[in-house]
Every structure is written in C-alpha cells, then in structure tokens.
Copies of this chain bind each other. A is one copy, B any other.
C-alpha cells in the first residue's frame, strides 16, 4: 500500500482539518498515511475523531456540512513527531535551514528516505517548495521545478505551468515547463496528445513580451521535432476556451491567471446573488436558483482540485491551498494519488534528457 506523508501542521486550519482531510483521503483512496508534526497535537485530533467516529466535510461551498464516517482502525497511519512549524510569513530559505525539525522538512524526508511515495502540505508554498527541492533534489536535467495547476473549464480542465514557483523565468525554463506540463496532463488527467500554448498578449508569433518572443520559436522547434503539440500564443481571453490543454507561463503571470480567475468567479457569483436581491420577485427566483448556483460553485471550487503538483523534483510533492478545509485536503491527497505508480518523474526525465 502506498503511503503519503502529510505535513500535519501546515495550513490555516492545521492540524485539525489537515488530519481530518488526510484520513478521509486515506479511507477513500486506500492509501496509508505518515502524519508529520507535533505528536501531541496530532494525537489529540485522532482521539477526537475516534471518540465521535466522524469528521465534518467542511466543503468550501458553504453547503450543509456532511458528516463523513471515519473508521480509524481500518486506516493505516503512523505519526512522526516533528517539533517545529514554519509559519506563513517566515523567510523561506532561513527557516528551512534553521528549523531542521519542522513538519514540512520532516514530511519531505519521509519521501526522501523511501517510507512514503508522496508528500502533501498546505503550509507556506515557499517553504513546501524549498523543502521539496532541498529534500528530494531536482530531476536530472531540470533547471527549475514548477507548479502545475489544474483549472476547471466548461468541458475539460486546463493545466497552467508555472503557477507561481518562479517569478522570473528564462526561455529554457519555459520549454521545460512545457515538457513537464505535457507529462502531467497525460498521466494525471489522461489527456492523449495535449495541446501546448504559451500565455501571451496577441495571437500571432512575435506578439508578447521578450520572454515569450524568445520562447516561441523554441517551442515551435519542439513541435517540429515531434516532442510537443504546440499551438502558439494563448491570450488571456483564450485561457477558458478549448485552444490549449497546457498553458506555459512564467510563474508571475501564471499565478495572476489563477488568482484572478478565483477572485473573478467569486465576485460574479456575489454579483448575481445581488441582482436576485434587487426585488421581491428576484428574491424568490434567487431562492429557487440556489441549488443551481451551489452546483456551479462546487464545479468551479478550487477545493475540488485540492492541490498543485510541484513538478521537476525527484518525488511527488503536492502543495495544497493555505486555506484548505478537510474537503480540500482530501482532494490534495487525491492529486498525489492520481500520479502514484504513474512514473511521472521517469517520464519527465526521459522527455527532458532524450
């Protein structure tokens, strides 16, 4: 049975929601857990769950909280004590080096030492990235690891890479992101021959910033060499159209796409609710429409995707949202499970080094 290392102390609602979500995932996906963090705190959560026999789903759609039965005796888990926690605001480099016994570093070590197949953390993204990079090392030939994020769309999701690991990038890095993104789309999302685009402004070759203009011909060459299926520039307005399955970007712009999407969606839902509130007729329609709006919210909810994969490191590392609920955490572990036994890193390595 595969085992997943969980940074039980990372995240706004840690350790409670992290432990709960991980157990939920272990039960649902049939994986084992290594819960890493303060022994006492984790044990307290486990004792609580054992006593009541369930957890609250805590789904971010603010729907009814479902009770999820958890049978601890059927879940294969161990606790690994780590005394320290790296907070959200801490300087990453320093804290990773100084806090040797932090939960994220210890959780990564569980993978590095071969006890676990993947690590999941909802703590500081920077700390999780740095710990994964230092602890697992890079795949041979990879310049910089990158974050692959799956965004919901009408028909099928789209992968954005890099979602925020590298604020400043070189063309060479972007070409590697393309290869990693393709491997991820194939293995994790089951896409057959994913179309790769590069985030830009303007459609034609030659439009965009210097980085895009330099990267474009390199991606085109890779297309001609049969390495990727490159479809050209993807404008902001085309992100949600079925033009590309994998969108390559520097981490700055990529992160902005993700965050603007999240924020814009929430604003729109609020705005439509407000429209309904404008008169008594609207209020009634609003109440009747509620289940439909809720279903939409569930569909676009980031919690359903749970985690972003840090690609390019020698191991599987999933970075969950800092605000992860039990439901989000369950899905973050699910994101790790989806690539288990898929040899994604071997595939990436083959692609980069051929």
**Is there a chain B Cβ closer than 8 Å to A29's Cβ?**
no
Binds B, one of A75-83, A248-256, A308-316, A342-350: A248-256
Contact B258 A236 (CB under 8 A): yes
- State whether A209 and B267 are in contact (beta carbons under 8 Å apart), knowing that A89-B204, A288-B285 are contacts in the complex: no
**Is there a chain B Cβ closer than 8 Å to A295's Cβ?**
yes
Binds B, one of A36-44, A138-146, A182-190, A274-282: A274-282
Contact A295 B267 (CB under 8 A): no
CB-defined contacts of A153 to chain B, threshold 8 Å = 267
CB-defined contacts of A264 to chain B, threshold 8 Å = 239-240, 260-261, 264-265, 268
**Is there a chain B Cβ closer than 8 Å to A257's Cβ?**
yes
Distance in angstroms from A159 CB to nearest chain B CB is 16
Contact A209 B292 (CB under 8 A): no
**Is there a chain B Cβ closer than 8 Å to A181's Cβ?**
no
**Which of B201, B256, B258, B292 contacts A272 (CB under 8 A)?**
B292
Residues of A131-175 whose CB lies within 8 A of B: 153-154, 164, 167-168
Per assembly, the copies of the chain total 2
**Is there a chain B Cβ closer than 8 Å to A259's Cβ?**
yes
Bound CA–CA A292/B271 (angstroms) = 10
Interface string of A214-236 (1 = CB under 8 A from B): 00000000000000000000011
Contact A300 B285 (CB under 8 A): no
Distance in angstroms from A69 CB to nearest chain B CB is 29
CB-defined contacts of A282 to chain B, threshold 8 Å = 292
**Is there a chain B Cβ closer than 8 Å to A192's Cβ?**
no
Bound CA–CA A250/B212 (angstroms) = 14
Distance in angstroms from A271 CB to nearest chain B CB is 6
Contact B299 A292 (CB under 8 A): no
Bound CA–CA A269/B265 (angstroms) = 10
CB-defined contacts of A167 to chain B, threshold 8 Å = 201, 208-210, 212
Bound CA–CA A292/B239 (angstroms) = 27
- State whether A271 and B241 are in contact (beta carbons under 8 Å apart), knowing that A201-B164, A260-B264 are contacts in the complex: no
**Which of B89, B241, B256, B272 contacts A236 (CB under 8 A)?**
B256
CB-defined contacts of A28 to chain B, threshold 8 Å = none
**Is there a chain B Cβ closer than 8 Å to A289's Cβ?**
yes
CB-defined contacts of A278 to chain B, threshold 8 Å = 292, 295
Bound CA–CA A262/B204 (angstroms) = 20
Contact B263 A239 (CB under 8 A): yes
Bound CA–CA A328/B155 (angstroms) = 30
- State whether A240 and B267 are in contact (beta carbons under 8 Å apart), knowing that A89-B204, A201-B167 are contacts in the complex: yes
Contact B237 A259 (CB under 8 A): yes
Q: Could you list 21 A-B pairs, sorted by A, with CB under 8 Å? A: A164-B201, A199-B256, A201-B255, A208-B252, A209-B250, A236-B260, A240-B263, A253-B256, A260-B260, A260-B264, A272-B272, A275-B293, A275-B295, A276-B289, A276-B292, A278-B292, A285-B288, A285-B289, A285-B292, A286-B292, A289-B289
